[in-house]
Chains A and B, each alone.
Chain A
Amino acid sequence: METNLDDALQSITKQADLICHGNYENTDEIYQFSNPEKYPESLVNFVEAFGFMAVKLEAREMHLENTIEELKIKNVQLEDSITRHNHLNFVFMNTVVLLSFFSFVLALLKTQSDTVSKIATTFVVSRVIEFAILASSILLIVRSKLPLSNFGLSLKNWPRAVKESLYATAVAVFCCTLLKVLMVQFNLSESTYIVRFSNLEWSFAFYILVAPLQEFLGRGVVQGTLQRIVPGKYGWLMAILLTSLVFGTLHLYISTSFALASLVGSFLWGWLYLRHETIVGVSISHFIIGIWMGVLGFFI
């Protein structure tokens, strides 16, 4: 019996040492001494108490490991949330700067009497602002480490996106033309023509660059970021609405009716972007509708 007790104590001491080093693999070895048919009751009780303690320790360690894993997942989610928050900050700050700068420039332009000079200044200022925001957007994309596709720079499903955009554009062009016909018919328009291709002055040549640029900034950066960060089932709708409100406001310097038209156009492009998340289709649509608005004389 003494030999058995020695064996048991040696085995338990060895296992205690292993457990201290985080090794539970061979804990089963001690349970041979908890057989009441072979060993005295006091030894059986001692081994059972030790075994229970070892199991409790192992369970606690397992619980800690699970908690660490959960915390790691939460940490990833938190980092993702911080990234989204930073994107929101970026979009918010850029929007405030853009709107403020535009408002100041327009206030200054009021003092100018020369219409040609006003248009030229507005055109130059608009392009300067767009390129400044383009530069900071590129910085945002690089720092975010998100794929370019998250900002609409993707060719995924582009044929379908272009096809859908062309159908939607055809409907929009028809509606704009019909509106102009009605305005001329009921003397609601300052101009008496329906279409005039000579309206397409030199500044429209830039439109082939401006339309994709505005779509990248508006849809790709602003709407795309809002889609990712606005929570809830209808977050996508809020993203389109907010982007369109900003987009419409930025066109108020031309005229109220033009801003309203931009707002409506932005809803359309926002919806198209939501479907395919590429700026290819919406840029083509923006270009065609913008040019056609010029031909109809809505820019003048």
Chain B
Amino acid sequence: MNVKLEASEEYALVSLDGRVDTTNANEFENSMLKVISDGHTKIILDCSGLDYISSSGLRVFLIVQKRLTAAKGQFRLCGLQPGIVEIFDISGFTSIFSIFPNKEAATKP
């Protein structure tokens, strides 16, 4: 798993690559919570490089969403691969997350 941050004045763009499972879900959670604690309230998570996500990884998405909702922020996801979209559909995530087809669409105000 690889997490990369590109911060601008308007939003923080986080790129997530590889697999998120039990072994690295904590690392992913810490990375995301640090972005929030650094003061970013609008986060765009680019998942175009995400190959697999386990339930522990999905839970991190929920935690981030809760934190940002409490901070009246925004959490946008983009570039989800078909396999990840299917997991999101089954878990009901598509009804609680703002999902965009690509970065360009997600960065629009």
A and B, one complex? yes
A→B interface (CB under 8 Å): 27-28, 31-32, 34-35, 37, 48, 51-52, 54-56, 58-60, 62-63, 66
The answer to whether A51 and B54 touch across the interface, beta carbons within 8 angstroms, is yes
Report the minimum CB–CB distance from A79 to chain B (whole Å): 23
Report the minimum CB–CB distance from A44 to chain B (whole Å): 8
If A35-B23, A52-B91, A59-B91 touch, whether A66 touches B96 (CB-CB below 8 Å) is yes
B81 close to A (CB within 8 Å)? no
B48 close to A (CB within 8 Å)? no
Contacting residues, chain A, for B21 (C-beta < 8 A): 34
Main SS at interface, chain A: helix
* CB nearest neighbor in A for B88: A59
Interface string of B55-82 (1 = CB under 8 A from A): 1101100100110000000000000000
In the complex, number of A-B residue pairs with CB atoms less than 8 Å apart: 53
Contacting residues, chain B, for A60 (C-beta < 8 A): 92
The answer to whether B55 and A52 touch across the interface, beta carbons within 8 angstroms, is yes
The answer to whether A27 and B59 touch across the interface, beta carbons within 8 angstroms, is yes
* The 6 A-B residue pairs with the shortest CB-CB distance in the complex, in nearest-first order: A51-B55, A52-B55, A31-B56, A59-B92, A34-B22, A55-B58
The answer to whether B62 and A62 touch across the interface, beta carbons within 8 angstroms, is yes
Report the minimum CB–CB distance from B76 to chain A (whole Å): 15
> How far apart are the CA atoms of A56 and B88 in the complex, in Å?
9
Report the minimum CB–CB distance from A191 to chain B (whole Å): 66
If A59-B62, A62-B66 touch, whether A28 touches B92 (CB-CB below 8 Å) is no
* CB nearest neighbor in B for A35: B22
* CB nearest neighbor in A for B23: A35
> How far apart are the CA atoms of A37 and B58 in the complex, in Å?
21
Main SS at interface, chain B: helix
Given A34-B22, A56-B92, A63-B95, 18 new contacts (CB under 8 A): A28-B26, A28-B56, A31-B25, A34-B21, A34-B55, A34-B56, A35-B22, A35-B23, A37-B23, A52-B55, A52-B58, A54-B59, A55-B55, A56-B90, A59-B91, A59-B96, A62-B96, A63-B96
B93 close to A (CB within 8 Å)? yes
Our pick among B54, B91, B95 for the contact of A48 (Cβ within 8 Å) is: B54
Contacting residues, chain B, for A37 (C-beta < 8 A): 23
If A31-B22, A34-B22, A51-B54 touch, whether A62 touches B59 (CB-CB below 8 Å) is no
Contacting residues, chain B, for A28 (C-beta < 8 A): 25-26, 56, 59
Contacting residues, chain A, for B23 (C-beta < 8 A): 35, 37
Report the minimum CB–CB distance from A106 to chain B (whole Å): 59
